[in-house]
Structure 1
Amino acid sequence: MRIIIDAFGGDNAPDEIIKGCRLAADELHVQIVLTGDEKKIRAAAEKLNVNVSDFEIIDCPDVITMEDEPTAITRAKKQSSMAVGLRALAEGKGDAFASAGNSGALVVGATLLVKRIKGVKRVAFAPLMPKSEGFFMLADGGANNECRPEMLEQFGMMGSVYMQKVMGVQKPRIGLANVGTEPHKGGELQHAAFALLSENKDVHFIGNIEARDIPFDAADVVVCDGFTGNILLKMYEGVAMALMNKFKAVFKKSLKNKLAAAMVLNDMKAMKKELDYNEYGGAPILGCSKPIFKVHGSAKASTLKNAIALTVKYAESGIISEITAALQNEKTENTNE
């Protein structure tokens, strides 16, 4: 399995990217292809004392920054590490691509350079988030601020296939994020999406779900437009961090509390791990014709390794052909009707 990695994507590139790739190569036994300025990559690796002799490096001079416009990937920044990596994937030089860089540029590049699956309206960010029991997928987590009803239906279909094939969830429950559980709640987008998902025989749609119920195992895939999804995602992460800070403050309050903290230390560490988004590494970009994974922008080495592990599962799962088949089946049924 050859995984192409954007060596200069993210807040901690290239150092943490290089270290994470080394971990992935050693533990997951994957072949690493790095894109970026070769001299800088080798200099950083030497400084870090990380062996990259078995890595293939595709030399390219430029970098897409977080300040760049998303469309720069096909214009001013055609020779950036992200653009070159995506083109390499499109040309079959690797089995999957991952980047911790500019999210907007990655979506544009995935759409224009690698292309969508035939029939897919829009690609979607689909991060895995912790819940009371296990995890759920959020689709869309921020790729599309404005959506049409049929896009939400497809997010549900693609999310269902991913959860089955990659995460091993049998018969994933699809819920539509809304302001109430009743079918008449929400605006025109939610009403129309509810109707489409209700009629779709390829998904197990359970109806509307409220935001407060999402952490309590309300669904396995939460469907929404990207604007709503990104707010949910950022709020979820912020609340988790705030709660952990509250717990720390309580345990440091007195000697008695410090002794109590020592007694539950392992359990607290386990809970922190469950709430840590770094455990999941990032989010697949669903709907693209080849596996692309968006790694968290603040990724450290361990985060990148986890992201690569999920990228490998994604590439091995065959879900792109499954999604293609599901969309084709839906198109046939609609034509027959």
Structure 2
Amino acid sequence: MGGDLGPRAVFLACEKALSRFPSLELLLVGTSHGQSLLPANLRTHTRCDWLMADAEISPALKPTEVLRQRKSSMWLAVESLALGHSVACVSGGNTGALMVAGKRLLGMLPGVERPAICQRWPTRQGQTWVLDLGANIEASPLLLVQFARMGAVVSGAASPRVALLNIGTEPNKGGELLSGAAKLLGELQSLQYAGFIEPNHMLDGNVDVVVTDGFTGNIALKASEGAAVFLVEQLRAAFSATWYGKLVGQLAKPVLLKWRKKFDPARYNGASFLGLTRPLIKSHGSADSAAFFNAICVAIQQAEQGLPAKLVANLVEHVGAAEAGEPS
């Protein structure tokens, strides 16, 4: 039940998801306060159950505190996934705590050192997948390569084009981390390494996957979300300031609605902790009901696709080729 808008936004998203997906079953995990706000239709729904928790993980708590609060809603939700009581988990709570709970309860896939937060972004040509968006403040060249391999699988592209986020495209830019990762990626044959990509070209759609460390990725994510919100606000203000602006706004409304539908950050809510043995989805803390619904859709899609199994197959193949001395 984590999230800045409280459980009501989650409940609205759950109602929509149950209506949209006839075979979906939901297990809601929360405290007695959250249960008291549960709408009557969810309370009596045959495909919706409630698991009572004693506490919540505050956004201000250190991530490792989740290890001491094993009756918290976050811990119990991830534990239900680990025990096989659910096939995917969605949370809008403390990101660091969610990663700690995921690593402890779910474990890592073979060949993956740490999980990465991965999310699809809209581009001029469709979409691209970006990781890591905040799980790992520090990274190593090998870790970035692991992220690249996982992102390539998630992209679904036949021959994925992968780029490293950098402040320039020149080979000497970016320091040891990026130069080391670039060297390793250039030796892989299972994907197309497209070199460095600058932040202002991430939305061009020329690559399928953009890889970075969690610190840089989270800044890029929040900067892009802020820019999108700012642009919408400025357009709304411009079209409402004068009678002429209102007239032009009415004429341009179909185009603006189409644009907003494609680039609305809520549509892309739902980031995956790639590298864990089960689908664990992080919803944005400020997500409204529409955005949280999209996070549920991501969880459903990854569960149906068997994404962790696909990642294992790719990673094991890579490890086997490396041990045999063959280029991968």
Name the structure 2 match of 1:308: 296
Name the structure 1 match of 2:36: 43
Q: How far has the Cα of 1:195 moved from its partner?
A: 0.9
Q: How far has the Cα of 1:308 moved from its partner?
A: 0.9
- 1:52 maps onto 2:43 in alignment: yes
CA distance in 1, matches of 2:56, 2:17: 23
Query: 1:58-137 residue pairs with structure 2 within 5 A?
Result: 58-75=51-68, 77-137=69-129
Using the TM superposition, name which of 282-291 and 126-135 deviates more. Answer: 126-135
Percent of paired sites with the same residue = 33
CA distance in 2, matches of 1:81, 1:192: 40
Q: Is the 8 A contact 1:19 1:50 kept in 2?
A: no
**1:213-251 C-alpha deviation (Å, 9 max, x unpaired):** 112113221100111101110111111111222222322
Q: Is the 8 A contact 2:159 2:190 kept in 1?
A: no
Name the structure 1 match of 2:27: 33
Q: Please, which of 234, 237, 243 is the counterpart of residue 225 of structure 2?
A: 237
Q: How far has the Cα of 1:309 moved from its partner?
A: 1.0
Q: Is the 8 A contact 1:35 1:59 kept in 2?
A: yes
Q: How far has the Cα of 1:13 moved from its partner?
A: 2.3
Name the structure 2 match of 1:214: 202
Q: Is the 8 A contact 2:78 2:89 kept in 1?
A: yes
Name the structure 1 match of 2:163: 175
- 1:275 maps onto 2:263 in alignment: yes
Moved beyond 6 Å, runs of 4+:
none
Letter of the structure 1 residue corresponding to residue 140 of structure 2 = R
Q: How far has the Cα of 1:173 moved from its partner?
A: 1.7
Letter of the structure 2 residue corresponding to residue 70 of structure 1 = P
Q: How far has the Cα of 1:184 moved from its partner?
A: 2.7
Q: How far has the Cα of 1:127 moved from its partner?
A: 1.7
Q: How far has the Cα of 1:325 moved from its partner?
A: 1.8
**1:253-288 C-alpha deviation (Å, 9 max, x unpaired):** 322221111001121122122221111222011001
CA distance in 2, matches of 1:170, 1:313: 19
SS in structure 2 of the partner of residue 206 of structure 1? strand
- 1:11 maps onto 2:28 in alignment: no
Q: Is the 8 A contact 1:209 1:218 kept in 2?
A: no
CA distance in 2, matches of 1:237, 1:323: 29
Letter of the structure 1 residue corresponding to residue 148 of structure 2 = G
- 1:325 maps onto 2:313 in alignment: yes
- 1:254 maps onto 2:242 in alignment: yes
Name the structure 2 match of 1:335: 323
After superposition, the CA RMSD in angstroms is 1.4
SS in structure 1 of the partner of residue 113 of structure 2? coil
**1:127-153 C-alpha deviation (Å, 9 max, x unpaired):** 222222222211001110100011111
Letter of the structure 1 residue corresponding to residue 36 of structure 2 = A
SS in structure 2 of the partner of residue 184 of structure 1? coil
CA distance in 1, matches of 2:299, 2:315: 23
**1:10-43 C-alpha deviation (Å, 9 max, x unpaired):** 1122111122112111112210001122x43442
CA distance in 2, matches of 1:234, 1:108: 22
Name the structure 2 match of 1:139: 131
TM-score by length of 1: 0.92
Letter of the structure 2 residue corresponding to residue 137 of structure 1 = W
Q: How far has the Cα of 1:102 moved from its partner?
A: 0.5
SS in structure 1 of the partner of residue 196 of structure 2? strand
Q: Is the 8 A contact 2:118 2:131 kept in 1?
A: yes
TM-score by length of 2: 0.94
Q: Is the 8 A contact 2:279 2:307 kept in 1?
A: no
Q: Is the 8 A contact 1:64 1:102 kept in 2?
A: yes
CA distance in 2, matches of 1:57, 1:185: 52
How many pairs does the alignment contain?
322
Letter of the structure 2 residue corresponding to residue 97 of structure 1 = C
SS in structure 1 of the partner of residue 271 of structure 2? strand
Q: How far has the Cα of 1:126 moved from its partner?
A: 0.7
Gaps of 5+ in 1: 1-7
